[in-house]
Every structure is written in structure tokens, then in C-alpha cells.
Structure 1
């Protein structure tokens, strides 16, 4: 899709409320009884472009994107989708301007602190896990990550994984290093290595692979997100920028997922 088409899709006039109210239950009737993904991976993209077309500063786009996550989680809980993994901050994002990196990290810190005391997180039983290379993060960030994980570790209804300082290639390299050290320490032998063992050395150990991965903004690539885990994931790309993503956009993704036949290589 061209840049002008993406711009049009995100700057469109809102559907009149009466039409939206008619379309929403129609779409719900199509998906409510169909199969639902157990685990959704989410690549949130388009915050800065959303801000640009709205005449706002980039940071305002990131703010809007952060707020949108709360809506998305509610939509998932309504469908009883158990796990969401959010691509929050990639290893490549460290290369952005220092002031933008600092702002994004501050947003993540605020989100973690919010989840520590959020009654909705407690009521819905949401376990929070942060995946990524923590050695690249500040001491304050690591402290808040550990505190959030500790406070929610016994929640067992839903799970939110936040990928921070995450890269799929780095995750695989770290897994290889971990296995190599076990061989070096004579804890395992080469013949012990199989897919199950390898997966146990990934950041997502114990978490089932995503059934569906959604990426906003019209970019059609994974950008290093869950490279090992996404082998059989269904992929859904939408031109809508993340802050403009609506419930009906989410339901459309679910409808497409339900229409696909998952073959797992067969």
C-alpha cells in the first residue's frame, strides 16, 4: 500500500456513530463463536506517524500508543485471550535519538509502576513478565521490572509479556550461549539438544508460542519479534497506526484468524 493510502486510512473521517453501532454487533456476531487465539503477539507501530498527521509532537504519539494498550487488553480479556506479548522496545530502538529513548523508557517505567497498584490488574488476575536483555537497562528499570513481576507472579488468569530491549536474533544467540555453557560445564551432552530444550533457554521459557501476531501501521515484517516462536503463527498486518487502532480493527484481525486453516507445516 502506498504512503498516501496509509495516510488516508489513518486520517479518515470517523464512521458516523449510528453506522458504527450497526457494524460493531454485526462483526461481533461473526467472531463470537469462532476459535480464538490463546496467545497474541503485538507489534505496535505508527506512533510517530500518527502524531505527525495529527500535527503533534512525537512524544504525544507515544503517549497515545501507551494509552491504547489498556483498550487492547480489555478487548482480549473479553474474548478470553489468555496471553498477550507486546513488542515494547527493541534492541534497535536504542539507536534512536537519546531524548526519544529516554522518553520511551520513562513511559515503560510509568506503565510498570501503574501495574504494581492497578486494581484492574489484580481483579483480572494478570501476570506481568518482561522479556529482553536486562543488562542494557538502567538499575531503576530492572528494579521496577522485578517488583512488578514479583507482585503479579501468583496471578493466573491472564498474562502480559512486555518485550523491552528485545531482539529475536539476540534471544537466539543468548540461548545458544546458555546451552554452550551447559555443555562446557558437562551438565548436558550434544545429544541432549532438541527443539524442546532449545526453547527452554529462550526468554519465553514456559510460554506457548503465539497463535496470531498483529502488526499495525502497514509494515509487513516481524522486525525481529519472536523469531523462533513465530514459526507457525498466523500474521495479520493492518495499515492503521497503533494509536488509531479500534476494537473493530481488532475484531477484523480475529475474523481473519478464524478464516485461516492452521496446518503447522502439514
Structure 2
């Protein structure tokens, strides 16, 4: 009876969260933290934590497809993880190899038109993992409905350093001039994978840091962040919906801030420019809280 009540309560809360959402991010990046701590908590082998975490990853992709999210980047294996015990690394590599091949052949992946890419220093990975990467990328290269980037042997500083070196080499070789270096110049030399900036970073496991993950695409875009305490194998759909609600609230706050700035600018203009300014402000008006919209309308009426 208790399980049934809990299940009904969970379903009701999920429906409430879905009802509250008015939009979703285009690109979600996920730091899947806590597999080992989950295993210790449950008193099971460490490898079991990674196995259950991989099942959560599969669920996440299904949720993203349901919500029409266009891009997902998973922090699967960092360059720092290469320092872990050999037995752990071997199991993780086996699991990554298996999942890449399984995803590449899964009907649900092809039905959802998922394009799989690996980003990072993949040449540092065992050959069998590199072969699995090549297989998954080749099998899904024709799709673009949902882009899945898997960060393997990835480090954000290493990515930026590699791009900086590539730009410097191009300048030295005379391929470009230093004065022509711009955002596109750098982006062209980042890891091939992400097709857009990150809107939302999700981190499980309780730590509140982004761990050198996608600094160009996330920090540069001031992505919303959602930190939560469940370990990755425990992460549920309602946790993901709460993360998206955080992103939505952040976007609404930004729209309100931009509207208030526009309003301040309009009020500072001379009368001759008021009509043009009103047309500009009209694009921002709906982002203001209702009381401010009413005050603005009254102010315009008094000026007419």
C-alpha cells in the first residue's frame, strides 16, 4: 500500500512539474557524478554503481527525446579519471565500449534520430574504445534531431589550450593574421561535437562545481546550473524536470532584467524619440511583472 501511495505521489509531482514548464533548453550538459559513492552506500561492488549509472544515462536520453531537447553532452570520462586504478579503468572502458555499440544499434536511437559524437583526447583511450566510437559515429552520422556528445578523456583546459595552440600555429604559418582572430576562429579549433552553446548544466552527487566541463560553450554562455544531491544512479525524471524548471526561471529572470533596462533607457530619452522608443520597448513589455506593466501603461497614458 505504501509503495502504491508513493508511486501515485511521484506521478502527480511529475505531472505538476511538466505543467509548470513553458519551455526547455536546447542544449543540456550533464556531469554524471556519484557512481562510486552510490555503490559504497548500497554496499555493492563499484562496478555495479557504474552499471546502474549507465542505465540512468539511457533513461536520460529518453527524457530528452520526450521533451524535444536538441543536444545533450555527457561527461563520461575526464582526463583526471585516467589516474584511477587499472581495474576501475578497464571496467569503465568495457562499459563505454558496450554502451556505444548498443546505442549505435538500438532501434530507439535510430527512431529518435540521435547523432552520437565523442569529444576529448580520444587517442588516449584503448583501441577497442576508439573502434566503438568510430562505429557509433558512423552508424548515426546521418541524423541531426538529437545530438549526443559523449565527453571521453575530456578536459576543458586541455580543449582551450589545444585551440589556442592551433590558432597560434595558423598565425605563424601565415594562414590567418592575428588581427583576424575572432570567436569563430577559436570555435573552429575546439573539439568537434557541440553544435550550440550550453543552456543548462546538471550535476548530481552533491558537489557544487562544474569541474572544468565545457568552459567555452557553458561559461561563455553563462549557462544555468542545477546541482542536486542524488548520486547519478539515483537520478530520476522529476530531478531532471526540476533542473529544467531552474533553467526556465533563470531565463524568465533574464527577460525581466532586459525589459527593465529597456524601460530605463526609454525614460531617459528625449520626447522626440519617445514614439520610436515605445516601439522598441513593446518587444520587452510582456517580460515585465504585471504591476510594472500596469505602471508603464499608466505612464504612457499620462504622457499622451
The TM-score with structure 2 as length reference comes to: 0.79
Q: CA RMSD in A?
A: 1.9
1:1-266 equivalent positions in 2, closer than 5 A: 16-31=6-21, 34-204=22-192, 207-231=195-219, 232-261=222-251, 263=254
Unaligned runs of 5+ in 1: 1-12
Q: Which structure is larger by alpha-carbon Rg, 1 or 2? A: 2
Task: Give the SS at the match of 2:29.
Answer: strand
Cα distance between partner residues in 2 of 1:206 and 1:28: 27
Q: Please list the CA deviations of residues 84-110 of structure 1 after superposition, one character each: whole Å capped at 9, or x if unmatched.
A: 000000000001111101111111100
Q: Is the 8 A contact 1:199 1:205 kept in 2?
A: no
User: 2:216 aligns to what SS in structure 1?
Assistant: coil
How many pairs does the alignment contain?
A: 252
Question: Quick one: structure 1 residues 64 and 206, their matched pair in 2 at CA, closer, same or farther if it must change by over 3 Å?
Answer: closer
Query: By how many angstroms is 1:24 displaced?
Result: 1.9
Aligned partners of 2:105 and 2:43: how far apart in 1? 34
Q: Which has the higher contact order (CA 8 A, sep 6+)?
A: 1
Once residues 206 and 108 of structure 1 are traced to their aligned partners in structure 2, the CA distance between those partners, rounded to angstroms, is 20
Change (3 A) 1:68 1:159: same
Q: How many angstroms does 1:139 deviate by?
A: 2.0
* Displacement over 4 Å in runs of 4+: 262-266
* Residues 164-197 of structure 1: CA deviation (Å, up to 9, x unaligned): 0000000011111211221222111111111221
Q: CA contact under 8 A between 1:200 and 1:206: conserved in structure 2?
A: no
TM-score (norm 1): 0.90
The whole-number CA distance in structure 2 between the counterparts of 1:118 and 1:205 is 21
